[in-house]
Each structure stands twice: as C-alpha cells, then as structure tokens.
C-alpha cells in the first residue's frame, strides 16, 4: 500500500488545485486553478528544484488560505484529542500541518512532468459538500483516480480531503497522529511539535517502499 501511496503522491499536488475563490463552483476552482498551477510550475520548476523552500512558500501563499486547515486539523486529531487541546495548541498544529503538507507533497510535485490531467464533469454542488474527480497519468504511464472533497466554509469552497487511487489521505494522517500520541505517552505538545518529523518519516517510508534513495 505504501508503494502505491508513494506513486500517488506524484499525482496529488500535480492535481491539487491552487484555488482562488474567484471561481463560482468547486469544479471551476479545480479546473481553472490546476491550469494556473501547472503553468507556474512549468515556468519556475528549475528555480524551485534549486531552492524548494521557495516552492513551499508559494504553496503556502496560494493554497494555504483555501485549505480548511482548522477542519482538517480537528479531523486528524479526532475529538478524543482536539477537545483536550488549547486554542494555542490547535493553532500550532494547524501551522505545522500546513508546513508538513506542503513540504511532503511539494517534493512529489517537483517530479511531475505534465503527463496529463483530466477533470471529470461537474457533479451536484447544490449542498455544502461536494466531490470533484480527476484522473492523472503518472510518470510510469499508469492512470490514477483522484477525488477531492470540498466543503463550504462561510460561503466559500474549502478543501477538506483527498483520496488517491483509493487511499484516503485524511485517514492516513489520523492514524499517524494516533500512533504518534501513543508513542509519545499521550503528550499532546510533543506530538504537535514533532509533526514535521512524523511527515518526514512518512516520506522516508514511502521512498524506501518505492525503491527511491532518501533525500
């Protein structure tokens, strides 16, 4: 499964919409901003490869405001732990979550070479929750299904979850957080402050499973 996830990571940010709330529907957000992101990556890829921190900062600036970091963070921590967290702890975890997310997936995106992305026709967006489906061709020629879950937060569409080739990224992070809490003796501060290390560990594991040297 980890090997499949690693291959899917080459897909995720290649298809991850760098959304701007100017578009009216979730489908338009995904379609329009995917095109913009790929154009930006094509223009700046060599610079980003030389200094990935510039890419992480760009992702944080463009993607950060559109990801429902609060909702995702609470989902990852689950009610069991989030209800015990102080507002300051929740804020720190949201910031650490976004940093880890952009570094983890940003590295994968730098390996994407414009193989091809197809956005499925728009679905029902009459409620406050919808899905946008894509198919993305990977470096190995395989086609990966990607499903984004978006929810309306204060009237605007926000990204809440991604499923890549059947692998639920939200659940993956929830399991990872629960495991870290157990290893850390239920020390919430230690787990929150060490989240970047947990993300780095996950990347090493997926690289190893895929037979790729650790970076």
Question: What are 141-164's pLDDT values in tens digits?
Answer: 778 888 889 999 888 888 899 888
Please provide the average confidence, as pLDDT, over all residues in the chain.
78
CB burial readout 67-105, b (16+ within 10 A) else e: bbbebbbbbbbeeebbeebeeebbebbbbbbbbbbbbbb
- The answer on pLDDT for 29 being more than 80 is no
- What pLDDT score was predicted for residue 184? 95
| pLDDT of 22 strictly over 50 | no
What is the per-residue pLDDT for 20?
44
CA distance 29 to 182: 38
Confidence at residue 33, expressed as pLDDT on a 0 to 100 scale: 66
Using DSSP's 3-state secondary structure scheme, residue 173 falls into: helix
* Confidence at 42, pLDDT banded by 50, 70, 90: confident
Other Cβ atoms less than 10 A from the Cβ of 156: the count is 14
pLDDT > 50? residue 87? yes
CA-nearest of 119, 131, 118, 136 to 11 is 136
């Amino acid at each position: 499964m980890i090997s499949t996830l690693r291959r899917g990571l080459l897909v995720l940010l290649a298809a991850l919409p760098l959304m701007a709330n100017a578009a009216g529907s979730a489908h338009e957000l995904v379609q329009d901003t995917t095109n913009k992101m790929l154009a930006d990556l094509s223009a700046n890829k060599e610079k980003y490869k030389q200094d990935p921190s510039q890419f992480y900062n760009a992702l944080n600036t463009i993607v950060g405001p559109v990801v429902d970091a609060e909702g995702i963070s609470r989902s990852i921590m689950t009610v069991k732990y989030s209800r015990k967290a102080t507002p300051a702890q929740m804020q720190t975890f949201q910031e650490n979550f976004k940093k880890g997310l952009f570094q983890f997936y940003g590295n994968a995106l730098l390996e994407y070479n414009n193989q091809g992305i197809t956005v499925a026709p728009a679905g029902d967006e009459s409620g406050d929750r919808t899905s946008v489906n894509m198919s993305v061709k990977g470096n190995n020629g395989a086609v990966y299904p990607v499903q984004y879950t978006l929810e309306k937060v204060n009237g605007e569409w926000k990204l809440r979850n991604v499923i890549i080739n059947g692998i639920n990224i939200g659940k993956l992070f929830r399991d990872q957080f629960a495991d870290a809490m157990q290893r850390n003796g239920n020390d919430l501060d230690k787990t929150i402050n060490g989240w970047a290390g947990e993300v780095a560990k996950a990347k090493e594991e997926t690289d190893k499973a895929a037979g790729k040297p650790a970076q």
